A and B are shown apart, each in its own frame.
Chain A
Amino acid sequence: IEARRVAIFGGTHGNEMSGVTLVNLWTKNGAEIQRKAVEAVPFITNPKAVEKCTRYVDTDLNRAFTPENLSAPGGNNLPYEVLRAQEINRIFGPKGSPEAYDVIFDLHNTTSNMGCTLILESSKDYFNLQMMNYIKKAMAPASCLVLLNEHPLLKYSTSRSVAKHPVGLEVGPQPQGVLRSNIFEAMRVILKHALDFIELFNEGVEFPPCTVEVFRVLERIDYPRDANGNIIAMVHPNLQDCDWEPLNPGDPMFQTFDGKTIHYQGSGTVYPTFINEAAYYEKQQAFITTRRETLVASAIKKA
């Protein structure tokens, strides 16, 4: 494993302001993100969306890094974000090749009350697991949870997936287009610890085997809709803002616009997250369910 080439992506969604602000700051003055033997590259992935303060211009950049898109011909006729994906893949990839960047941190905000969350794409990525373990311990007692999205259908092709070790940072709650000081500082602290870990790793520190508690993505739950596809209920007040808290069968889940309660009908307790994320109304997602799992990471040491 190597952790020599590191990038920090902001503005993958143009209205998620912590990442946009941090990357612009570090582009102007990168002292804070430099470490011995590592030059972390700050990069705005979707400049047009950032300029318009919108999530995306043509299509969601954070779903665009599919093999089809990355190899699509057509030049300037392609949607803006597909062109961007190809460009990003050229600079930081190619995805899946030995030339790809070692680590990419992708900075996101959510309207959900998720606090500080790290997003992991593979349960076998021991380097990432060790880094996340380090970050969690460094931040304690402040919470930093790990969301594992390895689901064959729900997993998606993210900007960060170009790298060998993709790390998603998701901090909320923050409205789109708004910069909240506490959220901004929290994200800054996560990155500080992440870069400290990389520096230690590059100095030859061995990280012994460790266990990491993660929340594994199970399924996506949509809003109840009528025959025309219109939403007919909202996240129930008992569930709103209760990311990561157990949801048991029979618990209130949605409230219709005329006040009736719809209950969770699952077979067992789940841990919901991404509850009432603004961007997911159009993706048919009111929240996702997860289950708690403990992953084991082997020891890692720089070769």
Chain B
Amino acid sequence: MEVDQVVPLPRLPRVAVCGGTHGNELSGVYLVRELLKLQREVMKKEQEEDLKPASVLLVLSNPRAMQQCRRYVDTDLNRCFTHATLNGPLSDMAPYEIIRSRELNALLGPKGSPAAVDLVCDLHNTTANMGLCFIAYSDCDWICLHIFRHLQREMPDTPMRFLHFDVSNKESYSLDSVGKHGFAMEIGPQPHGVVRSNIYTAMKVGVQHMLDWVRLFNSGNVFEGGFVDVFTMVKHIDYPRDSETRNITAAIHPCLQDRDFCLLHPEDPLFQTFSGETVRYKGTEPLYPFFINECAYYEKGIALSLARKRRVTIPAIRVQTEQEQQPNEQGFASEEEE
């Protein structure tokens, strides 16, 4: 693929920004509430001045969990968006989040159909020291990769990484997979149940730049090609646990705590047991750790995750012209190959 060749991609008329998918990740909750307030003010003004409204859907994904300031009520909402879960049978006793995932799929999807929103940006916080991360299922969705590169350029003081989870479309499970394009914007460190002004501001600025990029793209701007470093998840590592009680028997080692994205070498410390011993990384390949000591992952059996880094070449892109758009009305999944 020539880097000079400009790849035309379909317009992105509808964008969704979602907060509160986990009810205690507060930056997204407060940001979406604030954007809703501003949108109401702008819409009022637009009605008065007869302007075309911007098509940004603002969604508070899990209101009940938000109200209780918990991650979820019955089950993790951000695991409910597989095709199987969305289309399977629904009993009266279905967990709240399963019912809610169907409502969100109707609002933003249906997943996999031409009616789905063009871009979903799902806002999250983590207790891990990860800075700002994009989390996506694809390492060749040029839209997401270009948005990421735009944010890197506009926010040079914010540590920023692109995380790739190599999950097929069939198996994808998170809210952002409902749109034609989607990614999670994950910012940390922030304790759950707390909003830190620096983290909130980074998220607000990041979302603003994303929306600016979409407007520029839709207006015909050409975005030049280049490179993005992509971190692809390889595996998770669980805490050492007591064989009977399953309680953890060690904590993340002080040398590893807060060192997300600092290369972990074989024999580097991983955990410190409560009796003071060091448990070391026994893998043979140096890998990049992330989600180090994320609160919500204790119950998922994840102390940290490990990724491989590689440089991905991204082509120049621009929006399709009216003529170019015609044959693309049916399909959108194959645009990366054009």
Residues of A at under 8 Å CB distance from B?
Answer: 21, 24-25, 53-54, 111, 173-182, 184, 230-231, 234-237, 240, 255, 257-259, 276-279, 281-282
Query: Which of the segments B102-110, B179-187, B247-255 contacts the partner chain?
Result: B247-255
Which of B80-88, B192-200, B314-322 sits within the interface? B192-200
Bound-state Cα–Cα, A173 to B190, Å:
11
CA distance A175 to B134 in the complex (A): 22
Chain B residues with Cβ below 8 Å from A235 are: 196-197
* Minimal beta-carbon separation of A188 from chain B (angstroms): 9
Contacts beyond the supplied A181-B253, A184-B251, A281-B193: 10 A-B pairs with Cβ under 8 Å:
A21-B274, A177-B295, A178-B293, A180-B251, A180-B257, A234-B197, A236-B197, A237-B197, A240-B196, A258-B34
| Bound CA span A175–B252, Å | 14
Judged by a CB distance under 8 angstroms, whether B305 is at the interface is: no
Asked if B197 contacts A255 (CB within 8 A), the reply is: yes
Task: Please report the C-alpha to C-alpha distance between residue A182 and residue B30 in the assembled complex, in whole angstroms.
Answer: 31
Identify B251's interface contact among A54, A181, A240, A255, CB under 8 A.
A181
Residues 282 to 338 of chain B near chain A (Cβ within 8 Å):
293, 295-296, 298-299
Give Cα A255–Cα B34 distance, bound, in whole angstroms.
13
6 nearest A-B residue pairs (beta carbon): A175-B191, A278-B193, A177-B295, A181-B251, A257-B34, A111-B191
Choice from B69, B252, B295 contacting A181 with Cβ under 8 Å: B252
Interface contact A178-B30, CB-CB below 8 Å = no
Query: Is A176 touching B197 in the complex (CB atoms < 8 A)?
Result: no
In the assembled complex, how far is the CB of residue B244 from the closest CB belonging to chain A, in whole angstroms? 11
Docked pose: A240 CA to B200 CA in angstroms: 13
- 5 A/B residue pairs, CB under 8 Å, sorted by A: A175-B191, A175-B295, A180-B257, A237-B197, A255-B197
Q: Beta-carbon contacts of B26-39 to A below 8 Å, as 1s and 0s?
A: 00001101100010
User: Please, which residues of chain A bring their CB within 8 A of the CB of B254?
Assistant: 181-182
Q: Report the minimum CB–CB distance from A287 to chain B (whole Å).
A: 12
- Distance (Å) between the CB of A50 and the closest chain B CB? 10
Shortest CB–CB separation between residue A224 and chain B, in angstroms? 13
- Cβ–Cβ < 8 Å partners of A176 in chain B: 191-193, 295
B196 interface neighbour in A53, A178, A234, A282, Cβ under 8 Å: A234
Which residues of the other chain, B, contact A276 by a CB distance below 8 angstroms? 194, 196
The reply to whether the CB of B272 lies closer than 8 angstroms to some CB of chain A is yes
CB distance from B92 to the nearest CB of A (A): 25
Q: How far is the CA of A178 from the CA of B125 in the complex (A)?
A: 14
A111's partner among B194, B253, B272, B274 (CB-CB below 8 A) is B194
Chain A residue with Cβ nearest B27: A234
Shortest Cβ distance from residue A35 to the other chain B in the assembled complex, whole angstroms: 20
Q: Are A181 and B257 in contact (CB under 8 A)?
A: yes
List of A residues within 8 angstroms of B194 by Cβ: 111, 175, 276-278, 281
Q: What chain A residues lie within 8 Å of B299 (beta carbons)?
A: 53
* One of A181, A240, A257 near B198 (C-beta < 8 A): A240
Point out the residues of chain A lying under 8 angstroms from B34, CB to CB: 257-258
Q: Report B44-72 CB contacts with A as 1/0, cut-off 8 Å.
A: 00000000000000000000000001100
State the CA gap A236–B254 with chains docked (Å): 29
Contact A179 B251 (CB under 8 A): yes
Query: Which residues of chain B have a CB within 8 Å of any CB of chain A?
Result: 30-31, 33-34, 38, 69-70, 127, 189, 191-198, 200-201, 247-248, 251-254, 257, 272, 274, 293, 295-296, 298-299
Shortest distance from the beta carbon of B301 to any chain A beta carbon, whole Å: 14
Check if B127 sits within 8 Å of A178, measured CB to CB. Answer: yes
- B30: contacting residue among A24, A111, A257, CB under 8 A: A257
CA distance A278 to B196 in the complex (A): 10
Q: How far is the CA of A13 from the CA of B7 in the complex (A)?
A: 55
Question: Could you tell me the distance in whole angstroms from the C-beta of A251 to the nearest C-beta in chain B?
Answer: 15
Is there an interface contact between B298 and A177, defined as CB atoms closer than 8 Å? yes
Give the contacting residue for B195; candidates A25, A53, A54, A234; CB below 8 A: A234
* CB-contact partner of B192 in A21, A234, A257, A278, under 8 A: A278
Q: Which residue of A lies closest to B248 (CB)?
A: A179
Contact B197 A240 (CB under 8 A): yes
- A47: min CB distance to chain B, Å: 13
Q: Which residues of B contact A25 (CB under 8 A)?
A: 274
Q: Once bound together, how far apart are the Cα atoms of A120 and B299, in whole Å?
A: 35
Bound CA–CA A2/B15 (angstroms): 68
Q: Which of B192, B251, B252, B253 has the most CB of A within 10 A?
A: B251
Provide the bound-state CA to CA distance between A258 and B295, in Å.
29
**Nearest A-chain residue to B254, judged by Cβ:** A181
* Chain B neighbourhood of A179, CB < 8 A: 248, 251-252, 293
B228 CB to closest chain A CB (Å) equals 30
B251 touches A175 (CB 8 A): no
- Smallest CB gap from A15: residue in B: B295
> Min CB distance, A235 to chain B, in Å?
6
Smallest Cβ-Cβ distance to B276: which chain A residue = A185
For the complex, give the distance between the alpha carbons of A181 and B251 in Å: 6
Q: Which A residues are CB-close (under 8 A) to B127? A: 175, 177-178
Q: Quick one: closest A residue to B247, CB to CB?
A: A24
What's the nearest-Cβ distance from chain B to residue A108, in Å?
14
CB-based contact B257/A279 at 8 Å:
no
B252 nearest CB neighbor, chain A only = A181
Q: How far is the CB of A43 from chain B (nearest CB, A)?
A: 17
Cα-based distance from A281 to B26 in the complex (angstroms) = 12
